Structure 1
Amino acid sequence: MSNQEVMSDVNHVQHMFLRVESNDMECVINIAGHPYRLRELIFMMIENGCKIEQTSADSYNTFVYDKETVEVHDFLTSIIKAKFKPTDN
Protein backbone atom coordinates (compact mmCIF):
# COMPACT_ATOMS: atom_id res chain seq x y z
CA MET A 1 0.00 0.00 0.00
CA SER A 2 1.44 3.37 -1.00
CA ASN A 3 1.80 6.27 1.41
CA GLN A 4 -0.98 8.14 -0.41
CA GLU A 5 -3.34 5.14 -0.06
CA VAL A 6 -2.49 4.80 3.65
CA MET A 7 -3.20 8.47 4.34
CA SER A 8 -6.54 8.42 2.47
CA ASP A 9 -7.74 5.22 4.18
CA VAL A 10 -9.71 6.41 7.24
CA ASN A 11 -9.54 2.90 8.71
CA HIS A 12 -5.74 2.64 8.64
CA VAL A 13 -4.16 2.45 12.09
CA GLN A 14 -0.52 3.21 12.84
CA HIS A 15 1.04 2.27 16.17
CA MET A 16 4.14 3.62 17.91
CA PHE A 17 5.87 4.14 21.23
CA LEU A 18 7.33 7.57 22.08
CA ARG A 19 9.46 8.87 24.95
CA VAL A 20 8.37 12.43 25.76
CA GLU A 21 10.19 14.90 28.01
CA SER A 22 9.32 18.44 29.05
CA ASN A 23 10.57 20.75 31.81
CA ASP A 24 8.36 19.17 34.47
CA MET A 25 7.47 15.71 33.16
CA GLU A 26 8.85 12.58 31.54
CA CYS A 27 6.71 9.79 30.14
CA VAL A 28 6.54 7.00 27.61
CA ILE A 29 3.41 6.83 25.53
CA ASN A 30 1.84 4.05 23.53
CA ILE A 31 -0.25 5.56 20.74
CA ALA A 32 -2.36 4.14 17.94
CA GLY A 33 -4.53 5.83 15.37
CA HIS A 34 -4.74 7.27 11.90
CA PRO A 35 -1.38 8.68 10.74
CA TYR A 36 -2.83 12.21 10.34
CA ARG A 37 -4.02 12.19 13.94
CA LEU A 38 -0.70 10.90 15.24
CA ARG A 39 1.20 13.56 13.31
CA GLU A 40 -1.11 16.19 14.79
CA LEU A 41 -0.47 14.92 18.33
CA ILE A 42 3.30 14.82 17.85
CA PHE A 43 3.29 18.32 16.34
CA MET A 44 1.28 19.65 19.32
CA MET A 45 3.78 18.13 21.78
CA ILE A 46 6.76 19.61 19.93
CA GLU A 47 5.01 22.99 19.64
CA ASN A 48 4.54 22.93 23.44
CA GLY A 49 8.27 22.44 24.02
CA CYS A 50 8.50 18.66 24.46
CA LYS A 51 11.44 16.57 23.35
CA ILE A 52 10.23 13.42 21.60
CA GLU A 53 11.98 10.26 20.44
CA GLN A 54 10.59 7.04 19.08
CA THR A 55 11.22 4.07 21.36
CA SER A 56 10.27 0.39 21.61
CA ALA A 57 7.71 -1.83 23.34
CA ASP A 58 10.50 -3.09 25.61
CA SER A 59 11.27 0.45 26.73
CA TYR A 60 7.57 1.06 27.35
CA ASN A 61 7.17 -2.14 29.37
CA THR A 62 10.23 -1.51 31.55
CA PHE A 63 9.62 2.22 32.14
CA VAL A 64 9.39 3.00 35.86
CA TYR A 65 6.23 5.01 36.47
CA ASP A 66 3.88 6.11 39.24
CA LYS A 67 0.87 7.20 37.15
CA GLU A 68 -0.79 5.78 34.06
CA THR A 69 -3.53 7.34 31.93
CA VAL A 70 -5.55 6.32 28.88
CA GLU A 71 -7.33 8.68 26.49
CA VAL A 72 -9.41 7.94 23.39
CA HIS A 73 -10.19 10.53 20.70
CA ASP A 74 -12.44 10.79 17.63
CA PHE A 75 -12.64 8.47 14.59
CA LEU A 76 -9.37 9.71 13.02
CA THR A 77 -8.48 8.63 16.41
CA SER A 78 -5.75 8.07 18.82
CA ILE A 79 -5.61 5.76 21.74
CA ILE A 80 -3.00 7.17 24.08
CA LYS A 81 -1.69 5.20 27.03
CA ALA A 82 0.95 7.12 28.96
CA LYS A 83 3.18 6.09 31.85
CA PHE A 84 4.48 9.05 33.84
CA LYS A 85 7.80 8.98 35.69
CA PRO A 86 7.64 9.49 39.47
CA THR A 87 8.02 13.13 40.46
CA ASP A 88 10.73 14.27 42.88
CA ASN A 89 8.37 16.08 45.30
Structure 2
Amino acid sequence: MTMTMIREEEEEEQEDDDDDDDDDDDDSDDDDDDDDDDDDDDYSDDDAMMMMVMMMFKTKMMMMMMMMMMMMMLMMMMMMLR
Protein backbone atom coordinates (compact mmCIF):
# COMPACT_ATOMS: atom_id res chain seq x y z
CA MET A 1 0.00 0.00 0.00
CA THR A 2 2.65 2.52 1.01
CA MET A 3 4.94 1.55 -1.87
CA THR A 4 2.23 2.31 -4.44
CA MET A 5 1.61 5.67 -2.79
CA ILE A 6 5.32 6.50 -2.93
CA ARG A 7 5.53 5.48 -6.59
CA GLU A 8 2.58 7.70 -7.44
CA GLU A 9 4.21 10.64 -5.66
CA GLU A 10 7.48 10.07 -7.50
CA GLU A 11 5.68 10.01 -10.85
CA GLU A 12 3.93 13.29 -10.00
CA GLU A 13 7.25 14.88 -9.02
CA GLN A 14 8.82 13.78 -12.31
CA GLU A 15 5.96 15.36 -14.22
CA ASP A 16 6.44 18.59 -12.26
CA ASP A 17 10.18 18.50 -12.97
CA ASP A 18 9.52 18.17 -16.69
CA ASP A 19 7.36 21.30 -16.59
CA ASP A 20 10.06 23.23 -14.71
CA ASP A 21 12.77 22.18 -17.16
CA ASP A 22 10.83 23.72 -20.05
CA ASP A 23 10.71 27.10 -18.29
CA ASP A 24 14.33 27.63 -17.22
CA ASP A 25 17.07 25.01 -17.36
CA ASP A 26 19.96 27.04 -15.93
CA ASP A 27 18.31 28.22 -12.71
CA SER A 28 16.96 24.81 -11.75
CA ASP A 29 20.38 23.19 -12.25
CA ASP A 30 22.11 25.81 -10.08
CA ASP A 31 19.54 25.39 -7.31
CA ASP A 32 19.92 21.61 -7.39
CA ASP A 33 23.71 21.86 -7.11
CA ASP A 34 23.50 24.23 -4.14
CA ASP A 35 20.98 22.02 -2.35
CA ASP A 36 23.11 18.92 -2.90
CA ASP A 37 26.20 20.62 -1.47
CA ASP A 38 24.31 21.81 1.60
CA ASP A 39 22.82 18.37 2.21
CA ASP A 40 26.23 16.70 1.93
CA ASP A 41 27.81 19.17 4.36
CA ASP A 42 25.02 18.82 6.91
CA TYR A 43 25.11 15.04 6.71
CA SER A 44 28.89 14.78 7.04
CA ASP A 45 28.94 17.16 10.02
CA ASP A 46 26.18 15.29 11.83
CA ASP A 47 27.77 11.95 10.99
CA ALA A 48 31.17 13.07 12.26
CA MET A 49 29.60 14.40 15.46
CA MET A 50 27.80 11.10 16.07
CA MET A 51 31.02 9.18 15.43
CA MET A 52 32.88 11.37 17.92
CA VAL A 53 30.18 10.94 20.56
CA MET A 54 30.07 7.18 20.03
CA MET A 55 33.86 6.90 20.20
CA MET A 56 33.96 8.94 23.42
CA PHE A 57 31.20 6.79 24.89
CA LYS A 58 32.94 3.56 23.87
CA THR A 59 36.33 4.65 25.23
CA LYS A 60 34.68 5.79 28.47
CA MET A 61 32.94 2.44 28.81
CA MET A 62 36.19 0.61 28.08
CA MET A 63 38.01 2.66 30.72
CA MET A 64 35.28 1.94 33.25
CA MET A 65 35.43 -1.78 32.45
CA MET A 66 39.22 -1.80 32.77
CA MET A 67 39.03 0.00 36.11
CA MET A 68 36.42 -2.46 37.37
CA MET A 69 38.55 -5.40 36.26
CA MET A 70 41.64 -3.95 37.93
CA MET A 71 39.71 -3.36 41.16
CA MET A 72 38.38 -6.93 41.06
CA MET A 73 41.88 -8.28 40.50
CA LEU A 74 43.23 -6.23 43.41
CA MET A 75 40.43 -7.43 45.68
CA MET A 76 41.10 -11.04 44.69
CA MET A 77 44.82 -10.62 45.33
CA MET A 78 44.15 -9.09 48.76
CA MET A 79 41.79 -11.94 49.62
CA MET A 80 44.34 -14.53 48.49
CA LEU A 81 47.16 -12.91 50.46
CA ARG A 82 45.07 -12.87 53.63
TM-score by length of 1: 0.24
Structure of greater relative contact order (alpha carbons < 8 Å, 6+ residues apart): 1
TM-score by length of 2: 0.26
Structure with larger Rg: 2
Higher helix share: 2
Higher strand share: 1
